[in-house]
């Protein structure tokens, strides 16, 4: 019987500001966490990602490569960021082809939302379970699949 290859979760090559908290087990690597960032358990934050000051990322969230999250954001439980849009009908192994994801400051993302390769402006609220497929350019509350503006803020 074959022996599986095993990889350890861990915190590797992370630039951290003062007062960062990472709850284990988490897999956080090749990224930047500004001061007072909180990362809950069972979170993965991949390389080329930046999380702004005082942002909280709750448990079971996946933050893929090339994501920029602003300051004072709240990312709920089980949020998925995805930027390989499978343009050829299958996963693209070349990360240079992946989209980029940018969240402004004071963005709140509800639990189990999915954020695709988009930009979200400052002061937006994304409802739980929503799927954001297009840029959000106006502060407001958005929900649904695809996420639509429910009301301006």
92 assigned to some structural domain: no
Q: At 7, list the tokens.
A: 């990889």
Distance CA 73, CA 104 (A): 8
pLDDT at 6: 84
DSSP letters, 32-76, are EE-TT-EE-TT-EE-TT-EE-TT-EE-TT-EE-SSEEE-TT-EE-
Cα 67 off chain centre by: 6
105 assigned to some structural domain: yes
The parent domain of residue 73 ranges over 11-85+97-152
Q: Please give the share of the chain, as a percent, with pLDDT higher than 90.
A: 93
1 assigned to some structural domain: no
4 assigned to some structural domain: no
Q: At 148, list the tokens.
A: 């639509």
Check which CATH number belongs to the domain holding 63 and give it: 2.160.10.10
Q: What is the pLDDT of residues 40-88, one digit of tens each?
A: 999 999 999 999 999 999 999 999 999 999 999 999 999 999 999 898 8
Distance CA 140, CA 121 (A): 9
72 assigned to some structural domain: yes
pTM: 0.94
Once rounded to an integer, what is the mean pLDDT over residues 109-136? 98
| Residues 147/126, Cβ–Cβ less than 8 Å | yes
Q: How many helices (H) and strands (E) does the chain have?
A: 0, 21
Q: What total number of domains does the chain contain?
A: 1
62 assigned to some structural domain: yes
91 assigned to some structural domain: no
In the block, tokens 């009908």 appear at 89
């Amino acid at each position: 019987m074959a022996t599986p290859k095993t990889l350890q979760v861990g915190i590797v090559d992370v630039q951290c500001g003062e007062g960062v908290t990472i709850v284990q087990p988490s897999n956080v690597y090749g990224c930047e966490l500004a001061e007072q960032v909180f990362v809950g358990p069972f979170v993965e934050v991949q390389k080329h990602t930046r999380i702004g000051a005082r942002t909280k990322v709750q448990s079971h969230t996946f933050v893929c490569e090339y994501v920029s999250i602003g300051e004072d954001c709240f990312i709920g439980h089980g949020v998925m960021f995805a930027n390989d849009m499978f343009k050829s009908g299958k996963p693209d192994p070349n990360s240079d082809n992946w989209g980029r994801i940018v969240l402004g400051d004071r963005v709140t993302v509800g639990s189990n939302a999915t954020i695709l390769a988009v930009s979200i402006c400052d002061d937006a609220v994304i409802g739980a379970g929503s799927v954001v497929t297009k840029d959000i350019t106006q502060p407001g509350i958005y929900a649904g699949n695809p996420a639509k503006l429910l009301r301006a803020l």
